[in-house]
Amino acid sequence: MSTKVLYTGKTHTTGGREGASQSSDEQLNIKLSAPGLSRPGTNPEQLFAAGWSACFIGALGIAASKLGVRLPAETAVDAEVDLCVTDGEYSLQARLNISLPGIDLETAETLASQAHHTCPYSKATRGNINVEINIL
């Protein structure tokens, strides 16, 4: 099986959680700030949540197409990514809260399950962190 790279996101980050990050195409240029600080900037957990939720909506679209279902324009995924510490060891856990207005619960659950199976972010975290999928 041959792997074809479709896209490579490239960033340059300095200063860690209290630094800055810029993409190679300069479309992303942000200040970073550790969670809970009052200084300007986002944090890695927010960035991960944004990327995962956007990717998950794409995966929902693929699942809907395969099932012959039309995704509502108001489809939304609210991702919550927790930074945790247990006995001095850091980890993540997440919740994906999925809103599919006008789609019945059974179909919504099927779409979410299929999307979670195919979304690259879901694949990357599968078996590594606790992930809860909720249909709103």
7-58 per-position pLDDT tens digit:
999 999 999 999 999 999 999 999 999 988 888 899 999 999 999 999 999 9
Please tell me the predicted confidence (pLDDT) of residue 38.
Answer: 83
Question: What would the pLDDT profile of 68-106 be if each residue is shown by its tens digit?
Answer: 999 999 999 999 999 999 999 999 999 999 999 999 999
pTM listed for this prediction:
0.93
- Edge-to-edge strand list for the sheet holding 89-99: 76-86, 89-99, 130-135
Cα end-to-end distance, the chain, whole Å: 38
CB 97 within 8 A of CB 136: yes
Distance CA 112, CA 122 (A): 11
What are the C-alpha distances in Å from 30 to residues 34, 43, 61? 13, 10, 29
Q: All domains of the chain, ordered by start, with CATH?
A: 1-42 (2.20.25.10), 44-135 (3.30.300.20)
